Chains A and B, each alone.
Chain A
Amino acid sequence: QQKVQQSPESLIVPEGGMASLNCTSSDRNVDYFWWYRQHSGKSPKMLMSIFSNGEKEEGRFTVHLNKASLHTSLHIRDSQPSDSALYLCAARTSGGNYKPTFGKGTSLVVHP
């Protein structure tokens, strides 16, 4: 079964800094990635998704995808204390499999 690896496990950045999170799938049939954000004590909420090679930007958040290397990354510029959360990467494989597999997450702390 597919495995999704995230790095780093934890990350501390200063307010206003750039946070970069990584995610890699083990399955060559991966065709869709999501990034979910989970604040402490809350449920995960979808932040961004990507399925085409390249880059997608939404405000302070940018997602990159390189399908050849099965790798996606999430970059948060001008990080805010409210961005402090667990960031979960999920991936789906093609072929009608509708069960997204999650990584273990990256815990981000943005200190003022």
Chain B
Amino acid sequence: EAAVTQSPRNKVTVTGGNVTLSCRQTNSHNYMYWYRQDTGHGLRLIHYSYGAGNLQIGDVPDGYKATRTTQEDFFLLLELASPSQTSLYFCASRGTGNSGNTLYFGEGSRLIVV
């Protein structure tokens, strides 16, 4: 099965702090996604990417930046963290062709902003 690894798994930061969430996939997938999951809202797309150097804006991008440095690595940056960004963050990847319609999720990164 496709492997997606996120770090850190848990993070506590203060309001105004700087946070970077990392995601690495070793499946040679082109597409990578960052979602946040909150009770009552389901999974909401923050940013996504088609490949190294590419960045697409998702549905809830405010307060977030992202960067895709290589095909494997996708980072989510919170430069001035706010309590409203307390959430469970999931990274996912998908390929193309016959295997390209399934999202493979990492184990999640829980962020608390106090």
Chain A residues within CB distance 8 Å of chain B: 1, 32, 34, 36, 42-46, 49, 88, 90, 98-105
Contacts and interface: CB of A to CB of B under 8 A. Distances in A.
A88 B103 contact: no
Interface of B: 31, 33, 35, 40-45, 48, 50, 56, 58-59, 90, 94, 101-103, 105-108
Contact of B45 (A42, A44, A101, A105): A101
Given A43-B90, A43-B107, A99 B48 contact: yes
Contacts of B107: 42-43
A49 B102 contact: yes
Contacts of B94: 98
A100 B103 contact: yes
10 contacts: A32-B101, A44-B90, A46-B102, A49-B101, A90-B103, A98-B48, A101-B59, A102-B35, A102-B42, A104-B42
